[in-house]
């Protein structure tokens, strides 16, 4: 018998305010047509002024716990991926822990920008496999609207706010690729790409939160290549091939990146969960949001083989192969 980290609950939360592309036409030299054709984005959600990352994360966590039929006291650990924490410290994860009324266990944040949820999932799996936790709440939550330069048309039209969460539970499997749960992960980073995507402020530099800066076109080319290769590496580690995939659940940055990666993997777009048109790029929240929406749409079903993959600032990138 082999221990596996199995998804037993999923949920998400999106702030109420929906911002259609047309809203940017009022203040910037841009158009709905440009944004749709270059990125696939039609709208995104922006948090209310008094709504924070921990608020979004708490609502998503509550939805995932309800889906699992569990209460906060049943959870051993919370891992939360974000680059837009409420405060420099404490972690958003401990704020969520307190809001959920969870008085035992441990909680911490992971910061790997858009790849954050993949890193968090992989770490949650490691905690479960090592016996340090039996049930882990894994959350991706962001308020990227707070770090956007609303005068930079090349970036501010691309990102949105939101949160998604999964509950993972230790279960026994047979040790074969037919098992439910996380089957393999592949993590990578290369800090020499720092200038491609970064925030120009921080605690030990400017003392401010800063604004997002991105070299979109070179990053685009890195993304397709690295996402396909990390998906392949994780699949190989799981002993599976492209033909075994039921769904790719990619980071939702740009429909053209999603299409390019699917093509490199030899898969048609009807095997890809796509939410970028409605959410924009929600960084670490995009994969759990897509998992939750994909399940609600009836796309993702128990037993399906999923490949999730993401790339973001660092650069940091990776993939997780799991059976739902
Ligand atoms: O989540 C982390 C990962 N993030 C990504 O992977 C993002 C990767 N990059 C991208 O998604 C794409 O590169 C973008 C959507 C950012 C841009 O698409 P592109 O096809 O690479 O366009 P480009 O950057 O080459 O820009 C084309 C033109 C430029 O004008 P010139 O130089 O050709 O005259 C830009 O100034 O489009 C212009 N442009 C815009 N025009 C209207 C840039 N932003 C806008 C805009 N509206 N919002």
Torsion angle of the four alpha carbons 69, 74, 79, 83, in this order, in degrees rounded to the nearest 10: 60
d(CA 285, CA 9): 16
Residue 8 tokens read as 């037993």
Sheet containing 316-323: order of strands: 181-189, 316-323, 305-312, 247-250
In DSSP notation, 42-98 reads: -EEEE--TT--HHHHHHHHHHHHHHHHT--GGG-SEEEEE-SS-SSSSS-HHHHHHH
How much distance in Å is there from the Cα of 153 to the middle of ligand 1? 9
d(CA 241, CA 6): 21
- Specify the pLDDT at position 1: 83
Domains of the chain: 2-173 (3.40.47.10), 181-323 (3.40.47.10)
Instruction: Check if 45 is active-site.
Output: no
- Specify the pLDDT at position 120: 98
Residue (of 289, 220, 217) closest to 252 by Cα position:
289
Strands 2-13, 135-143: parallel, antiparallel or unpaired by DSSP? Answer: unpaired
Q: Report CA-CA distances (Å) from 69 to 73, 79, 298.
A: 12, 19, 20
- Specify the pLDDT at position 99: 98
Instruction: Check if 12 is active-site.
Output: no
Ligand 1, atom 48: nearest CA belongs to which residue? Answer: 153
What letter does residue 281 receive in the DSSP assignment? B
Residue 154 tokens read as 């090349």
Residue (of 286, 277, 320) closest to 56 by Cα position:
286
Flag whether the pTM goes above 0.85: yes
Residue 261 tokens read as 């990666």
How much distance in Å is there from the Cα of 34 to the middle of ligand 1? 9
Ligand 1, atom 12: nearest CA belongs to which residue? Answer: 216
In DSSP notation, 124-138 reads: HHHHHHTTS-SEEEE
- Per residue in 274-311, pLDDT (tens digit) is 999 999 999 999 999 999 999 999 999 999 999 999 99
Instruction: Check if 123 is active-site.
Output: no
Ligand 1, atom 2: nearest CA belongs to which residue? Answer: 312
How much distance in Å is there from the Cα of 155 to the middle of ligand 1? 8
Strands 316-323, 181-189: parallel, antiparallel or unpaired by DSSP? Answer: antiparallel
Contact of 236 with 294, CB cutoff 8 Å: no
Strand ranges inside the chain, DSSP E? 2-13, 17-20, 43-46, 77-81, 106-110, 135-143, 161-173, 181-189, 197-199, 212-214, 247-250, 305-312, 316-323
Ligand 1 proximity of 114 Cβ (cutoff 6 Å): yes
Contact of 289 with 87, CB cutoff 8 Å: no
What residue ranges of the chain have pLDDT lower than 50? none
d(CA 303, CA 180): 7
């Amino acid at each position: 018998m082999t221990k596996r980290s199995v998804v037993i609950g999923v949920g998400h939360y999106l702030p109420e305010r929906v911002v259609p592309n047309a809203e940017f036409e009022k203040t910037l030299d841009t158009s709905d047509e440009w944004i749709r054709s270059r990125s696939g984005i039609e709208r995104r959600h922006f948090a209310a002024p008094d709504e924070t990352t921990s608020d979004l994360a708490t609502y998503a966590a509550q939805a995932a716990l309800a889906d699992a039929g569990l209460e906060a006291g049943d959870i051993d650990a919370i891992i939360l991926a974000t680059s837009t924490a409420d405060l420099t410290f404490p972690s958003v994860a401990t704020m969520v822990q307190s809001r959920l009324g969870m008085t035992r266990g441990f909680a911490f944040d992971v910061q790997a920008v858009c790849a954050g949820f993949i890193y968090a999932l992989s770490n949650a799996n490691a905690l479960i496999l090592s016996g340090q936790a039996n049930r882990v709440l894994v959350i991706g939550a962001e308020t990227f609207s707070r770090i956007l330069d609303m005068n930079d048309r090349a970036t501010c039209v691309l990102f949105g706010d939101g949160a998604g969460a999964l509950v993972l539970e230790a279960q026994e499997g047979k040790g074969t690729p037919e098992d439910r749960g996380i089957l393999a992960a592949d993590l990578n980073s290369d800090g020499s790409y720092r200038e491609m995507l970064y925030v120009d402020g921080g605690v030990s530099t400017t003392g401010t939160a800063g604004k997002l800066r991105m070299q979109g076109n070179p990053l685009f080319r890195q993304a397709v290549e690295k996402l396909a290769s990390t998906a392949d590496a994780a699949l190989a580690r799981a002993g599976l091939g492209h033909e075994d995939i039921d769904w790719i659940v990619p980071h939702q940055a740009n429909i053209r990146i999603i299409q390019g990666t699917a093509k490199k993997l030899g898969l048609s777009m009807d095997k890809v969960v796509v939410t970028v048109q409605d959410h924009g790029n929600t960084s670490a929240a995009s994969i759990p949001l897509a998992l939750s929406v994909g399940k609600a749409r009836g796309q993702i079903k128990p037993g399906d083989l999923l490949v999730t993959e993401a790339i973001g600032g660092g650069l940091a990138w990776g993939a997780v192969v799991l059976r739902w």
